[in-house]
Amino acid sequence: MADSRHGLLLVDKVVGGTSHSVVQQARRLLRQKKIGHCGTLDPAADGLLLLTVGHATRLTRFLIQAPKVYLGEIQFGVTTDTYDADGEVTAQASIADLTRQAIEAAMPPFEGKIDQLPPAYSAKKVNGVKLYELARRGEEVPREAKQVTVYEFTATSELVDGRIGFKLSCASGTYARSLAHDLGEALGCGGHLASLRRTSVGPFKVEEASTLAQLAAALEAGEELDRGWYPFDSIPLPFGQITTDAQQQRRIQHGQTILVRELASEEGDWVKLVNQRQQFIAIGTVTERVSAAGVGIIQPKVVFA
């Protein structure tokens, strides 16, 4: 792998492992302690997990906000305490009269900006304690509704034995388990998330990714694993890019503002700053638009040596 110390690694996570365990394994394989991930996947879910490596860990907060797409299945007629197939069954109901048409008619209210309660068994923290830790101890789990954004929530298969496939496109922070549970409640029969696979995060696709087993095999064989690897300088970010000259670069390295021309970004926007060799040197924000002609001032916020 070309310079595995700094960059973005796309991993196809398998069912069973936690996002944290994937990070731990990647640290051992790449011999790099500084590795983070951009959005948790539950143990029962598989698919795309973005790992930030080395300097790229400072980009996690920008990449984690990217919209995500999932494919999955919902099982109706059975409700569980975790809202997925790993939980204890808490209720069962007849689905004899349930149809695909009824399910599709109940899905549109879950699109757009909606208030969503996180599952009681989730990694969301309250006062520094994860909700699932409280739930496992039998303690009351304080849950507050949070506004999330769902771009698409549609059925993708026929209804067979109470199970139907779906596609979900949503903003960061949305719980697919809660959508499955709440849809079942709206239909009056209950339901839970039977399976879930994340297929994309922003511009990144699971087809580009490698499993940890593939990564380990390639490293053991001494091969370069270019699949799913973005070197630090070429990591795509969800905002504009500006090429700086030598004088601007010196100011950036000292955290000083720079004046730029032909600025397409608006005041308050983030921008990626590269030098004339297209090396990634900083992320800044547009603090002021000096003129309508595109002259503006940028303040470096995250500077890389």
Query: Tens of pLDDT along the chain (305 residues)?
Result: 445 589 999 999 999 989 999 999 999 999 999 999 999 999 999 999 999 999 999 999 999 999 999 999 999 999 999 999 998 999 999 999 999 999 999 999 999 999 998 887 655 444 454 444 434 444 444 557 889 999 999 999 999 999 999 999 999 999 999 999 999 999 999 999 999 999 999 999 999 999 999 999 988 888 876 789 999 999 999 999 999 999 999 999 999 999 998 888 889 999 999 999 999 999 999 999 887 778 999 999 999 97
φ, ψ for residue 303, nearest 5 deg:
-110, 130
CB neighbour list of residue 76: distance below 8 Å, 6 or more residues apart: 95, 98, 103, 162, 163, 164, 184, 187, 189, 190, 191
Residues of the chain with CATH 2.30.130.30: 240-303
Residue 49 to residues 5, 160, 240: CA-CA distances in angstroms?
Answer: 18, 30, 24
pTM for the model stands at 0.89
Element (H, E) at 157: none
Structure-block tokens of residue 50: 């973005």
Question: Annotated active-site positions, please?
Answer: 42
Residues of the chain with CATH 3.30.2350.10: 7-66+203-234, 68-201
Q: What CATH architecture is 7-66+203-234? A: 2-Layer Sandwich (3.30)
CATH class of the domain whose range is 68-201: alpha beta
Pairing label, strands 68-76, 191-201: antiparallel
Q: Of the CATH numbers 1.20.1740.10, 3.40.50.410, 2.30.130.30, 1.25.40.10, which one belongs to the domain with range 240-303?
A: 2.30.130.30
Tracing tokens 């994937």 back to the chain, one arrives at 22
Supply the DSSP symbol for 14.
P
